Amino acid sequence: MKKFLIVLLILAIIGGGGYGAYYFFFASNELDEEEIKNGWHIEVVNDYINIRKEASASSEILGQVNKGEVYSVVKVEDIGNNTFWYNIEYEKDKFGWVFNSSTTNYLKDVNNPEDIASPSIVFEDDVYHVASIDDINYDHLEVTDDKPGVTVSHRIYCERNVNGQSDQYWIQYIAEDASGKTTTKLQKIQFDELPSDEEVLDFADLER
């Protein structure tokens, strides 16, 4: 009986040691999401982004980050035209590069110490429908930037006699961040009550 108890004790120690080893080698290598969110980090909004060994589209792929995941940022390389490579810690003590630009919007840049990017504007529908020009709002927009303080405004344009038929109206959104960088995006708009000529601009004068 005593030998049996000793064997059970040894098995328990071995089992506990095995769990301890698992925790040490695996759990300790997991990144703390709450800690990451307190610092400069990215949140992946695309289905996935390839992790590259270097900040280049031709560099070796180390793996992928997936939608909804967050990763701490070490640094960022601005290669112009609102295009960036982010150096992230994708696993404990493992680092790689992921790509983003203001046109792709693969990720959100959060708690960036510097305002490096222009705002992004996203809407789902091709046509925005409102009762009148006074009812326009921005509830259907997702406007993000790497720093807070973005303001949104708009202009309404009228394109006359489209294909020899009725007029077509467009709304141009203008998002401006705290440092003065702007992004514009155009969407068709339909009114139940058409605006007056004084309330709209000529589509031919639209600057893109």
- What residues have CB less than 8 Å from 76, skipping those under 6 apart? 84, 85, 86, 87, 109, 112, 116
Q: What pLDDT was estimated at residue 85? A: 97
Percentage of residues in the chain with pLDDT exceeding 90? 64
Residue 2 has pLDDT above 70, yes or no: no
Mean pLDDT of 65-79: 95
How confident is the model over 100-112, as pLDDT tens digits?
A: 987 788 999 988 8
- Using a cut of 0.85, tell me whether the model's pTM lies above it: no
Compute, in degrees rounded to 10, the torsion defined by CA atoms 200, 168, 126, 120. -30
**Please, which pLDDT band fits residue 34 given cuts at 50, 70 and 90?**
confident
Query: Domains (ranges, CATH) in the chain?
Result: 31-110 (2.30.30.40), 120-205 (2.60.40)
**Beta-sheet pairing, 201-202 with 182-191:** unpaired
**Please, which pLDDT band fits residue 28 given cuts at 50, 70 and 90?**
very low
- What residues have CB less than 8 Å from 122, skipping those under 6 apart? 105, 141, 142, 143, 144
**Please, which pLDDT band fits residue 4 given cuts at 50, 70 and 90?**
very low
Residue 35 has pLDDT above 70, yes or no: yes
Residue 10 has pLDDT above 80, yes or no: no
120 C-beta neighbours (distance < 10 Å), count: 24
* Positions of E strands within 26-144: 41-44, 48-52, 61-66, 70-80, 83-91, 94-101, 107-110, 120-122, 127-130, 142-144
Residue 22 has pLDDT above 70, yes or no: no
Q: What's the mean pLDDT when you consider all of the chain? A: 86
Q: What pLDDT was estimated at residue 30? A: 59
Instruction: Supply 56's token pair.
Output: 């280049």
Mean pLDDT of 157-172: 89
Residue 133 has pLDDT above 60, yes or no: yes
**Please, which pLDDT band fits residue 136 given cuts at 50, 70 and 90?**
very high
**Please, which pLDDT band fits residue 25 given cuts at 50, 70 and 90?**
very low
Residue 151 has pLDDT above 90, yes or no: yes
